[in-house]
Structure 1
C-alpha cells in the first residue's frame, strides 16, 4: 500500500508545481509522472519509455480527433454559424423558458467550440434576452456558463470525454450517447435549481462592478442558415452513433463501415463539412487563418491530455490501478460509494488546479481500473469523474475570469454566475450517473 502513498505524494507535487511554481500543467504532470515512476521503482531504463509510450498511445487514439474537432468548432464560430444556431434556439423559446433556451444553445455550441469562445459569442445575446424576458441579467449569464461548461466537460469531441474511451477502453459512441443525454439532463436540472437559488444569494451592491463590456463580433459576408450551420456538428455525431449502434447488432462491422464510423474519420468529415459551410461567407485565406488558430489551441490541449496519458501509463506499470481496485473490493465493491469517490477526487483536482481538463484526465487515469470491480460499465466511472471535474471552478480557472469580467461582475459575482451554476449541474450529473449505473450497469 506504500505505492498509494507515493501516488498521493506525486499528485501533491503536481498540484504545487501548477499553483505555486506556476509551471505549465503539461510540464507539471510529466515531472509528477517521473517522480511517481521513481518512487514506485519502475525500472529507470524503462521509465522514459513508459512515459512517452503512455503519451503516444493516448495521442494515437485521440490526437487527430481532437484536432479535427477544434478546427470544426473554430470554423463554425468564425463563419457565423454558431451565432445563427444560438439566435435560432433562443428565439424558439418563450420568455418563461428563455433561460433554458440560452443554456441549451450554450450546451449545443460548446460540444465543438471551446468554453471561452462560446461564452463570448453568447453573452451579448444573454444580456439582450434577459432584458426582453425581464429576467435577472446574472441568471442569463450563469445559464450560459452552466450550459457551456457541461457540454465542454461531458460530450465528445471535446478532449475530456473523448479521452475517456481511450483511457477506460470503451466506444466513444457510448460516451457521446451517455454524455449527451446526461449533460442535457444536467443542464435542465441545473438551470431549474439555479433559477431558484440565485435570487436568494445575489447582492447587486457587492456582486456588480459596473456596466457590461459588450463584445462586438466581426461579421461575415454571408452567414449560413440554421440547418447548414448545424451540419458540421450533426454529421460526425450521426456517423459515430451509427457505428456504435451497428456494431452492437453484428459480430463485426464491414471493413468500410468500421473505417467511415471511426471517430477520427467522422470528425475529419465534419471538419470538411465545416469548410464547405464556411465557404459561403469566408474566403480561402480567412478559412485557413481560422484553422490555424484552432491548431494553436489544439496544441496546448493535446500536451496536457497526453501528459495525463503518461501519468496513467506509470500508474498502470506500477500496479497502482490494481491496488485501488483491490482496495475498493476490500470495502465491499459498492458502486455507489466508488462513483461518489470518483466525483470527490475530480472535485478535489478541480479546486486545486483550476483546469477542468487536468482534473478530468488525471482523475480518469487514477480510476481507470475501477469499473470491473464495482460491476458497472466504465462509462459510468468516466461520468462520475467528469462530473467532479465540472464542479468547483473558481479563481484559479481562466473560465472564471472570462465569465466574471465581460459582464463586469465582482469576484463574488463571478462565484455566483460561474462556480455556483456549474456546481449545481455537476450534482445533477452525479445523480444521473448513480441512477444510470443502477438501472443500466452494463458491467
Structure 2
C-alpha cells in the first residue's frame, strides 16, 4: 500500500508546482509522473519510454479529434453561426422560461465552442434578457456560466469527455449520449435551484464593481447563416458518431463504411468541412485560415495537458497502482455509490486546488480508470462522476472565473456567486443523475 502513498505524494507535488511555483500544468504533470515512477522504483529506461508511450497512446486516440473539434467551434463562432443559434434558442422561450432558454443556448454552444468564447457571445443577450424580463442580471449570468460549463465538461467533442472513452476504454458515442442527457438534466435542475438561491445571497453593494463591459466579437457585421445552416457543423459529427453507437447496440458489428464514418476523427473532420462550407458564405479564405490557426494554437495547449495526463496514467498502471485502487474500491464491498462519490470528491479536490477543469478532469479519470471493473458498472458512470467533480468548484485560480466576473462588472464575491455557485449546483445535479443512472442501468 506504500505505492498509494507515493501516488498521493506525486499529486501533492503536481499541485504545488502548478499553484506555488507557477509551472505550466503539462510540465507539472510530467514532473509528477517521473517522480511517481522513481518512488515506485520503475527502471529509468522503462520510466522514460512508458511516460512517452502514455502520452502518445492518448494522442493517437484523441489528438486529431480534439484539434478538429476546436477548429469546428472556432469557425462556428467567427462565422456568426454560434450567435445565430444562441439568439434563436433564447428567442424561442417565453419570458417565464427565459433563463432556461439562455442556459440551454449556452449548453448547446459550448459543445463545440470554448467556455470563454461562449460567454462573450452570450453575455450581451443575457444583459438584454435580464432587463426586458425584469430578472436579476446575476441570474442571467449564472445561467450562462452553468450551461456553458456543464456542456464543456461533459459532452464530446470537448477535450475532457472526449478523452474519457480513451482513458477508460469505451465508445465515445456512449459518452455523447450519457453526457448529453445527464448534462442537460443537470442544467435544468441547476437553473431551478439557482433561481431560488441567487436573490437571497446577492448583495449589489458588495457584488457589483462597475457597469457591464462587452467584448466586440469578430462575427459582428458578417452575413450570418440561418439557424438550420448554422447547426449543420454541430449536427453532422454528432449524428455520425451516434450512427455507429446505435448500429452496434441494435444490430451488432457495423459494416466497414459505418465504422469508418462513425469514427470520431472522421466524423469531426466531416464536421470541420461542413463548418468551412457554412463559413465560406460570410468569411474570406484568409479569415477562415486565421480562424483555423487560432484554433490550432488553443488546441496545442489543451493537447499538451491531456497528453501529460496520459503519461501520468501510464505510469500509474505500470506501477500497479491502478490495481491497488481497484482492490481498495472492492474492499468497499462493491458499493458503487461510495466509489462514485469518491470519484466526485477527487475531481472536486483537483478543481479546487489547481483551477483548470481540464487538469482536474484528465487527472481524476486517469487515477480512477480502474474503478469501473471493480464495482461492476459501465465506465461511463465513473467518467461522469469524475467530470462532475471537475465541474464543481472553479474559483479565483481559474481563468473562466475572471471572464465571468469582470465582463458583467462584478466583484470577486459576485464572481463566486455567478460562476462558482451555479456550476457547483450543476455538478451536484450531474452527480445525482450519475448515481441514479448507475443504479438503473449499471451496464457492467
Same fold at TM > 0.5: yes
Counterpart in 2 of 1:99?
99
- With 389-398 and 208-217 compared, the bigger mean Cα shift is at 208-217
Paired residue secondary structure (2:142): helix
The alignment yields a C-alpha RMSD, in angstroms, of 0.6
Counterpart in 2 of 1:44?
44
Residues 330-371 of structure 1, C-alpha deviations (whole Å, 9 max, x = no match): 121200000000000000000000000000000000000010
- TM-score, L = length of structure 2: 0.99
Counterpart in 1 of 2:300?
299
Residues 390-436 of structure 1, C-alpha deviations (whole Å, 9 max, x = no match): 00000000000000000110000000000000000000000000000
Write the distance in 2 (CA, Å) between the matches of 1:397 and 1:293. 21
Counterpart in 2 of 1:129?
129
Paired residue secondary structure (2:223): coil
Counterpart in 1 of 2:269?
268
Q: Tell whether 2:423 aligns with 1:419.
A: no
Deviation at 1:128, TM superposition (A): 0.5
Counterpart in 1 of 2:327?
326
Paired residue secondary structure (2:7): helix
Deviation at 1:222, TM superposition (A): 1.2
Question: Which residues in structure 2 correspond to 1:399-410 (within 5 Å)?
Answer: 399-410=400-411
Counterpart in 2 of 1:249?
250
Counterpart in 2 of 1:156?
156
Write the distance in 1 (CA, Å) between the matches of 2:63 and 2:438. 29
Gaps of 5+ in 1: none
Q: Tell whether 2:259 aligns with 1:239.
A: no
Paired residue secondary structure (2:135): coil
- With 91-100 and 251-260 compared, the bigger mean Cα shift is at 251-260
Write the distance in 2 (CA, Å) between the matches of 1:90 and 1:330. 49
Write the distance in 2 (CA, Å) between the matches of 1:19 and 1:362. 16
Residues 308-337 of structure 1, C-alpha deviations (whole Å, 9 max, x = no match): 000000000001010011011112120000
Deviation at 1:276, TM superposition (A): 0.2
Any conservation in 1 of the 2:247–2:253 contact (CA below 8 Å)? no
Any conservation in 2 of the 1:139–1:417 contact (CA below 8 Å)? yes
Counterpart in 2 of 1:86?
86
Counterpart in 1 of 2:68?
68
Paired residue secondary structure (1:285): helix
Paired residue secondary structure (1:293): helix
Counterpart in 2 of 1:176?
176
Paired residue secondary structure (1:105): helix
Counterpart in 1 of 2:5?
5
Write the distance in 1 (CA, Å) between the matches of 2:337 and 2:381. 11
Any conservation in 2 of the 1:220–1:281 contact (CA below 8 Å)? no
Deviation at 1:220, TM superposition (A): 4.2
Q: Tell whether 2:201 aligns with 1:201.
A: yes
Deviation at 1:221, TM superposition (A): 3.0
Write the distance in 1 (CA, Å) between the matches of 2:40 and 2:235. 46
Any conservation in 1 of the 2:243–2:258 contact (CA below 8 Å)? no
Q: Tell whether 2:28 aligns with 1:28.
A: yes
Deviation at 1:249, TM superposition (A): 2.5
Deviation at 1:256, TM superposition (A): 1.6
Count how many residue pairs are aligned between Structure 1 and Structure 2.
443
